[in-house]
Each structure stands twice: as structure tokens, then as C-alpha cells.
Structure 1
Amino acid sequence: MKRRDFVGLTGLASGALLLPSIPGFGNGVEVDPLRLLETVDPAVKKRLADAALNAAKSAGATYTDVRIGRYLNQGVFTREKQVQGISSTESYGAGVRVIADGTWGFAATNIVTEAGLAKAAQLAVQIAKANAKVQKAQVQLAPQKGYGEVSWKAPIQQNAFEVPIKDKVDLLLAVNAKALEQGASFVNSVLFQVNEQKYFASTDGSYIDQDIHRIYPTFGVTAIDRASGKFRSRQALSSPMGMGYEYLTPKAADKVAGPTGSDVVGYKNSYDMLEDVVSATKQVKQKLTAKSVVPGKYDLVLDPHHLGLTIHESVGHPTELDRVLGYEANYAGTSFATLEWKAKNIPYGSKLVNIVADKLQPNSLGAVGYDDEGVKTKEWNLITEGKLVDYQKIRDQAHIVGQKESDGCCYSQSWQDVQFQRMPNVSLKPGTTKLSVDEMVSKVDKGIYIAGNGSFSIDQQRYNFQFGGQVFYAIEKGKITGMIEDVAYQANTQEFWNSCAAICDQSDYRLFGAFNDGKGQPGQSSAVSHGSATTRFNGVNVINTARKIG
């Protein structure tokens, strides 16, 4: 979503500058919140899908799939003591994708009738036949069995759209009040909810009805030193999750403490927004007087909420097969991890590095039963003991690497966009030996503990990068000695992952989430999680990001 559209939609003005990253709301139409509780009968969707499948076949398609989607979004936005905006949107329509004359064609419609879908199917076939005149090689689809009529629902406990807006507003204003009580100068808080009701049908014989939910509570806190004009901020350490409103019912068992002396708390499958905002306000005040980091080589102890973004950029994107093949070169870059590079068996990381891709992990943003090509989802290895062993693939890519099945990671952000290869959950496996964060820190002579994700930069091949964070603590002779500031680390993907020296065990494992990962041209947004435990990287180059004035 363009910024001007977002500001217009929510009524935000200057306060929007303090908001964290905003996920796209698609092209939804503003509706009464009560309408978001409506559903569409799967029998109706099947009848509509059959109209498209039959029309495409009659027009000459050899393969057809239909996606009927109802996409619901709600956002509640507050700042200090006031509500800035409430948005409830609905987008409903269908997309039809076909193969005719060995070539893809796609068309979409918001006229959700049998006649409307049949017309879209006929148009998709016409587009495919036109494309066939210039396409050099025919589409090769990996085989896929049909599943008949099946359904999958996210295992949520409380539908966030059923919770009264007043309750959501009360929570966010309570969060803001806590921050102001603790001495924050400014605070904003936001709650996003998404529900994708997706129906997929294909000539393979699948009719798949899915109900997917995501939630993202977040805030930003700022403290100002009025005398000097210096200010510091900290964003929430929440993670967007594939859950319902139960995520906002904190449970003690879901809390994970950072190292002693850091005042950092991590969260697993529930989130204490009030507790986090108190910690955030305390930390931003500490940032105002924290010492600036001395550049040099440090051992880094990275919290999962920080490491997730590094995994996303330096492992998730470079192992997308379409990027490896150069399909993204015009927009979002390529990948250093080419097929030729992989064939040389060059170490991606140390032997401790085991990274899996999956679309199954409970409560993750990427969890679904079937992808947008009707492929049943799974888990598979990307990196095993430091070696790249596989990529992320969809049906028309599998043959390129000599494989016979899709990985089930095809996705479209809406009914009106064509589906294509998108990142599944990509996660670093926890260590197999019991290891706490304090034990990890105790073995560091000169290091920095980093929590939360901040600014980042990475080149077009996903190789050379720089990452910041939210809070930084100095480690000296095995102990946290205090907060520091102006920290960013620089490395290339290979040297960074080869410096991985220790990983905490399963008890510390948590999910980080990317709610609005962009890719493609025209661009699309998707949501994906990245799991890890706290991890140590030895001898990483740290720079000082403070600007010198005068």
C-alpha cells in the first residue's frame, strides 16, 4: 500500500511517522465490522469454481485452477490518549489461471457469479494463447493428485474479528497509558487482524476450502531529553502470529527471559503487551545515557526476535528458486546461491547451522494446509550441517532442478493477483545440547547482546549486509555490563553463518514474523515466520552508526 493511501484510509497525519512498518491492506472496501463475521457457503463456491473450470476447458485450456478469495482486514490505531483510526475492509473476488498451448494465462474478476467466473476463464485462455506466440518453452507442471473436497482451518481459539472493537481500543489505550506513566514522551500502538477465506479448485480434482488467521499487536515508544533534544525509540518485541485473539492473553509459560542484566523478555505463543511497553519505556530512557559502541570485532549473542530478520534476508530470500534463476533480477535482485554455487558444495555455514523450510509450524504466519496451487504443505531441509541441500520450489519449477514434486510454497496476496513462489517459514533449528542464554553469555569475553530488529541493508545478491537492532548490551568477561548504543554489524552471508558457534536449546526457541514481505513485479506482500533460539556468532565486525556533526 502506498503511504498516501494508508494515511487517507486511517486518518493518520503526522503521528503516522512514528508507526512501525504497516502491512498492506490490499484493495479492500471499507465495511461495517459486523460484516466481517459473515461466511460464504463452500457449496456455492464449488458451483462458481465449476463454472470457471468448464468454461476454460471448452475454450481450450489443458489445465485450470480457480481461487475464490474473501480477504478481511482490520486495523486499530492509537496514539497517547486518543484513537487515530479504525479500519475494517473486505475484498471479494476470483482469479482463474490456465495453461493453453503450453503457456500460462490469468484473469480475475470481482463479479462473483457463474457468468462472471466463466467470462474470466475465457479471458485467461485468450491471454494464454496470445502469450504462446512469444513463449519459447512450454510450461512443465510437476504432477499433483487431486484431494477431492477438503478443508483446513487455522486452529485458533478466539476469532479476533469477534472481539468488540471497544475491547481492542481499551487494550491499546491502556498500553499507551502505561508508557506515559513510566515516562515516555510519545507512544503509539496498533492492532492488525487478517482473515483469508480461500477456496481453491483445479482440473486435478481438488476443491479446497481454507480459513487462515493472522494477528499483529505492536507499538512504538519514544523518550526525549528536553535539555539536549536527544531522543530514542523502541518498537515492540511482539511477533505477528498465525493465531487468534488468544495471542493477547499472556501466559507465564510463554515468557523467555533474556540474559541476566539485560531487562529483555521474549514471548512465544502469547504476548504481554502491557509488560513489554513498560520494559520498552525503561529501555528508551536508558538509551538516552548509554555509551556509544567502540567499533571492532565482537562475539554477537542474537535474540530470536532479532535473528529472524537476518534469517529472512540472508537465507530465506537467497534460497528462493525463482530468485536463483534470475526471475527477480529486474526488481528485487538475484542470489549468490546459484545452482552452480550449490554444485560446488561450498559451506553456507558452520556444521551447527541446520535450516528448514515449512508451511506446517503451529501458530506461524506461513502455516496452511494447502498452497495456492492445491499442493499439500510440508517441511523440508534447506541447509543441513552448514551445506545448502535444496531450494524453495513450486509446480512449474521442480523439473528445473530434477525434482518431481512442488514444495507447496505458492501464494498470492489476493484473488486479483496471480500466485507465484513465495517464501515459506524458514527457521534455524535449535541446539540439541541443553544451553541457556546465561550459559552462552558466560563464555563470551568481548561481545554484544542484541534484541529486536532494526534497520538493515543487503545487496542484490543477498550476500553483503548490515543489520541494526532495538536494544544492545555490552558483554565483558561473561557478564552483561550495561546498555550501549549506535550498533550495527556488517558481514557477508557465508562468513556470518560460518561464524555460528553456539545455539541455545528448544526451551529458548521462538518465532519472529515478517507481516508484509514484498516480492514480485507487480509487487505482492505475504506473511512469513522465522524460528530460532538465541545464537552466538564469533568475531563479527561491528560499526558505530552515530552521525558526526560539525
Structure 2
Amino acid sequence: MQRRDFIQLSGLGVGSLLAAGVPVLGNSVSAEYLLEASGRGVGIDTAAKKRLADIALNAAKSKGATYTDVRIGRYLQQFVFTRENRVQNISNAESFGVGIRVIANGTWGFSATSNVTPDGIAKCAETAVAIAKANAKLQAEPVQLAPQKGVGEVVWKTPIKKNAFEIPVQQKIDLLMNVNGEAMKNGAAFVTSNLFFVNEQKYFASTDGSYIDQDVHRIWPTFTVSAVDRAVGKFKTRDALSSPMGMGYEYLDGLASEKIKAPNGLVGYRNSYDMLEDAILAAKQAKEKLTAKTVQPGKYDLVLDPNHLGLTIHESVGHPTELDRVLGYEANYAGTSFATLDKWKTKSFNYGSKLVNIVADKTQPFTLGTVGYDDEGVPCKQWDLIKDGILVNYQAIRDQVAILGEKESNGCCYADNWDSVQFQRMPNVSLKAGTEKRSVSDMIKGVDKGIYIIGRGSYSIDQQRYNFQFGGQLFYEIKNGEIVGMLDDVAYQSNTQEFWNSCSQLCDQDDYRTFGSFFDGKGQPSQVSAVSHGCPTTRFNGVNVINTGRKI
């Protein structure tokens, strides 16, 4: 990308583009341009960003702000969509601008601009202060901002080996065409495949004395294959068993190769993903699902693979421990939380069995939520949410921790773009592995009547994150310690406390893998974030299973 092209694109501001149903911030660029430029761009010199940030900090202070932070952001997205033997869409999005947040008269104010010039930034800072002062007339209590020592000038980068934006688009298309072709050869009637790449170049500065430059990369390869029985008009699908990752293109080319063999010929992936191998297996399994036995409703012991359990963690632990949901500040977008402060204050609320240890963590390598510092300039860390089954903490940011009687933010504040105000977002929330040596095969040997579930499926959970129902991608019946065949029409129902208290066994660290959500929505106006959930294969006893089909 030439300098004049970058200036032209960034000057256009933020538009919106719908690419195959996925929200994208930025401006559409033609496929021809992508093939030529491969989505590459030029950033702004760090010293120049510091000078611009200081303009904002000084302008806000001169107008009466007691605290200011500024985020200069350049956000790149490249999405590739294919179906069978054709490319459906290629989108390249770029967004560039500045967001300024202040406290004046004890109240927050925020303003953003795509006019990244000294005058534009100064005016934006003045507007933020004016908004704060106007808001102060309605504020009952002043903002209590947890102290944060400035970290000076620091740089943090996702430790990638291959920048996905530097890989030619043709190479990405070739990969997806191979994936689609092999799936079709092995029984798929239809197949769609997609690649998602995100690069956030974020510069943060605050009156605390922090100047933080971060370069964040994320990747998500995925597909859906469909097998059809035309004689009876029936079809079945199987989605990719990939996990979105905080990595570069090495996730797809084997440079970080690490695979975990699971029962029944399945493969688990950790820090690498063989998309072609998974597509071939998916086509065969989708075809097998056409003749799978329908499940008999009843109580089963469930053996849940990490690619499945990660979603259950996300919905039944991740969201309920967001402090703004607990307090009722967040309610319209997916509800509040049953895990209210009165339960936490007892220090004895049994969220799960004693085996359940769940941590929030924004430092775990290769995960979606990992950065060096959050969007308030707080160094990221790990902390306990559930310890030995007891609810011990929540996810909280600088203006929330005083409610918990704490003096330090958890470092989980995030905004999805420069023109979005940062607020509390879910960090990586993960179930710790067991301490006893145990493989998936070992776990299955101990199950008399059960179901082994792999992959995420449809789900439903109530507005307090309590009563729920989860499906999956693949279901295998377990009888007397052995897998005896594939099942279909499976979903399990429970409530959060009952479910986690039924946790009876964990595989060890050798089986620990991550699941990820690339577009987790929250807030008004809505924002998306990316978050991972790690866990080992885990057993839950006596869970109610229903049949989702029409016939039994």
C-alpha cells in the first residue's frame, strides 16, 4: 500500500460493510487491490503518535479534565469467504482515528475523531471535556477511579511468526479451494470455508504517565460441510473444530504444529490447525451423521471435549462473572447475572464442585484475549474467579473495583475500535486442568452410560445466565467404558450451579486446549471482542439429555 493510498483510506473515516453476514468496520477494498497489496499498510511512527497523544492530554487538562486517556488506533481486517469451487467475497477493512476519554467534574466524557491532526485532536479533547461537564449535572456520585501507576513508554506485540496480512490473498484462496475440494471428494454435498484475520495497532497514553504501543494479531479459519441423503431429503452438517487464536499465519502452516489424538480417530488441535485434514474428517463424519442413531432421553454422564466445553464456560461462567452484569448496569444485551454480590460476599457459594477452578487470564500465550495492557493502560494478569468450587471474584475495571472493596483493576477493559468507548469486557476465562494423570481414553473407560460430545452447536441460556441448553457437533454413545457408535439429536439441559457441581473428573494438562469466540457481542451501541476459553476434557455426572429430533 502506498502512502497516498493509506492517507486516502484513513481519511474516509469509518463506514460499515456486511460481508456474508459478519459485521466489519472500515471500508471495502476490491479483490484486485487485495491481490496486489495483500492487505498490507503503513503505520504511524511511534514518536509521532506520542506527540499527538500529548496534544490531547494537554488540551483536555487545559479545559478542566482531572484525568485523560487517548487511544490512537489503526484497525485492519481481512476476511475471505468461499463456497465449493468459487470465491464468494473478499473484504479488506481499514479504520484509523483517535478516541479520547476524560474525567471532569467527577464524570466521564468521551469523544472520537478521524481527523488525526493536531487541531482535530485538540478539538476532540475539548469536546470530551464539554461532554463530561454536561454529564456531571446528572451524576449522583463522582467516578472512583482505581489508581494506576504509569508504565512509561513500552511496546507489546503478539509474538507471531508470520504476519497473515503479508501472505498473498491467492495463497489463502488456494488453501480454501483445497479444503472445499477435499471435503467434496469425501462425501460433502456443500461446503463453505472462511478465513478471518484481524490486526489492531493501538497506541494508548494517559495522564498517569503511560505511553503504550501494542500490535495485536488474531486469526480464525473455519468451515461448514453438509452431507445430503437425497432419497429421504435429509442433511447433516459438521463445522470446523478449529479455535480462533492470537497468532499469525503459522497457525495454518504447521510451524507451530501440535496435535492431540483423541478417541475414535478424532484430532484435537493446540497452537496449530490442519484445516485440510479436519475438512476431510468433517465430510466423512457429516455423512455418518445421516445414519446415526437418535438419542434416548435420560440422565447421562457427559464427557465434554474442550472445543465444546469452551462455549459452556463462556456462557455460564464468563458472562455471569462480568461485574457490570452482576450490578445490572448491563442488561439489554444478553441479560444480567444470577451470581449476585450477596452470593460472593458469603465466600461460601458453591458455584461448582471442589474440582472446579476457573481463572480469568489475559496473559496466556496464543489466546484471543491476551495483550500486554488493557485499554486503560493496566498491565494484564491472571486472577481467580472460582476457586475449589467457590465464587471468589468477578471481572472488574478501574471505575468498578471500589464496589468490591479493592484498589486495583483486573485489567480487562477493551474497546473494539478507536471510536468506541472502552468498557469491561470478558478476559480469557478458563477451567484449570486436573492434577492427576488422566487421558480422554482413561476417562471414557470409567463411564458406564454416557455421551462424548465434541464441538459447539446451538445453545440457549436465560437472561440471568442460569438455566441453559447446549447442543454440539458430534455425539458418541459410551457404554460400559467404550464408545459404541455415533448418536444424533442430542442436547443437554441444566442450570449453571447444578451443572458445575456435577463436575467429577478432569483430564490433565496434556489434554488442555482452547476454544474461542471471535465476535462476542456486548453493550449499547454494541461492540465485539475476541476471547478464548481453555480447559481439558471434563466429565459431568447425571446430566439431563433431551432428544431434539422429531422422532425417537
TM range (shorter): over 0.9
Aligned pairs for 1:428-447 within 5 A? 428-447=431-450
- Are the counterparts in 1 of residues 250 and 256 from structure 2 also a CA contact under 8 Å? no
Q: Of the candidates 384, 397, 414, which is equivalent to residue 417 of structure 2? A: 414
CA spacing shift, 1:253–1:88, aligned 2, 3 Å: closer
Q: Of the candidates 155, 160, 167, which is equivalent to residue 159 of structure 2? A: 155
Q: Of the candidates 57, 74, 95, which is equivalent to residue 91 of structure 1? A: 95
Partner of 1:268: 270
Indicate yes or no: 2:529 matched with 1:526: yes
Tell me by how many angstroms 1:251 deviates: 6.6
Partner of 2:132: 128
Q: Of the candidates 437, 457, 460, which is equivalent to residue 457 of structure 1? A: 460
What TM-score does the superposition give when structure 1 sets the normalisation length?
Answer: 0.95
**TM-align CA RMSD:** 1.5
Helix, strand or coil at the partner of 1:220: strand
Indicate yes or no: 2:305 matched with 1:303: yes
Partner of 1:118: 122
Tell me by how many angstroms 1:253 deviates: 5.7
Q: Which amino acid aligns with 2:29?
A: E
Indicate yes or no: 2:320 matched with 1:318: yes
Q: Of the candidates 77, 81, 84, which is equivalent to residue 80 of structure 1? A: 84
Distance 1:538 1:189 in 2: 36
C-alpha distance after superposition, 1:331-370 (max 9, x if no partner): 3211111110122322000000000101000000001000
Partner of 2:23: 24
Helix, strand or coil at the partner of 2:224: strand
- Are the counterparts in 2 of residues 319 and 335 from structure 1 also a CA contact under 8 Å? yes
Q: Which amino acid aligns with 1:328?
A: E
Partner of 1:190: 194
In the alignment, structure 2 segments of 5+ residues that lack a partner are 1-14
Helix, strand or coil at the partner of 1:176: helix
C-alpha distance after superposition, 1:173-228 (max 9, x if no partner): 00000001112100111011000000000000101000000000000000100100
Helix, strand or coil at the partner of 2:23: coil
Q: Which amino acid aligns with 2:91?
A: S
Partner of 1:19: none
Helix, strand or coil at the partner of 1:521: coil
C-alpha distance after superposition, 1:469-491 (max 9, x if no partner): 00100000000000000000000
CA spacing shift, 1:66–1:489, aligned 2, 3 Å: same
C-alpha distance after superposition, 1:150-195 (max 9, x if no partner): 1100000000000000100000000000001112100111011000
Aligned pairs for 1:13-412 within 5 A? 23-30=22-29, 32-33=33-34, 34=37, 36-250=40-254, 254-259=258-263, 262-344=264-346, 345-412=348-415
CA spacing shift, 1:206–1:251, aligned 2, 3 Å: closer
- Are the counterparts in 2 of residues 236 and 276 from structure 1 also a CA contact under 8 Å? yes
In the alignment, structure 1 segments of 5+ residues that lack a partner are 11-15, 17-21
Distance 1:54 1:354 in 2: 45
Which aligned segments of 4 or more residues in structure 1 are displaced greater than 6 angstroms? none
C-alpha distance after superposition, 1:62-99 (max 9, x if no partner): 00000000000001111111111111110000100000
Partner of 2:5: none
C-alpha distance after superposition, 1:245-264 (max 9, x if no partner): 000023796111222xx332
Identity of aligned residues (%): 69
Distance 2:156 2:142 in 1: 33
Q: Which amino acid aligns with 1:173?
A: M
Q: Which amino acid aligns with 1:128?
A: A
Q: Which amino acid aligns with 1:417?
A: S
CA spacing shift, 1:95–1:252, aligned 2, 3 Å: closer
Distance 1:37 1:48 in 2: 20
Partner of 2:10: none
Helix, strand or coil at the partner of 2:25: coil
Tell me by how many angstroms 1:547 deviates: 2.9
- Are the counterparts in 2 of residues 264 and 451 from structure 1 also a CA contact under 8 Å? no
Q: Which amino acid aligns with 2:287?
A: K
What TM-score does the superposition give when structure 2 sets the normalisation length?
Answer: 0.94
Distance 1:197 1:252 in 2: 24
Distance 1:152 1:23 in 2: 28
